[in-house]
């Protein structure tokens, strides 16, 4: 494994460089929301699948709309 390059002693030497992924505030919020909504959907599907195999029905059967 290669060691960390510590030849550059000034940690702020490249502070003025543009970020690699320059996104807006809305883009940041959208990415965060997308990430957590996606995780929630995956977890719901996983739990619903377990519920279906254990109890033999859907979680949505108990919602009277």
Rounded (to 5) percent helix, strand, coil in the chain: 55, 0, 45
pLDDT of residue 35: 94
Give the model's confidence band at 5: pLDDT under 50 very low, under 70 low, under 90 confident, else very high: low
Query: Whole-angstrom Cα distance, residue 58 to residue 53?
Result: 9
Q: Is the pLDDT of residue 1 over 60?
A: no
Q: Give start and end residues of each alpha helix (H) in 1-65.
A: 25-55
pLDDT in tens, 39-65: 999 999 999 889 888 888 777 777 766
pLDDT of residue 60: 73
Q: Which two tokens stand for residue 48?
A: 């619903």
pLDDT of residue 65: 60
pLDDT of residue 4: 64
């Amino acid at each position: 494994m290669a060691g960390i390059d510590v030849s550059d002693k000034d940690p702020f030497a490249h502070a003025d460089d543009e970020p690699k992924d320059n996104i807006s505030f809305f883009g940041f919020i959208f990415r965060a929301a997308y990430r957590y909504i996606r995780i929630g959907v995956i977890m719901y599907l996983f739990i619903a699948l377990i519920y279906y195999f254990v109890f033999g029905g859907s979680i949505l059967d108990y919602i009277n709309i």
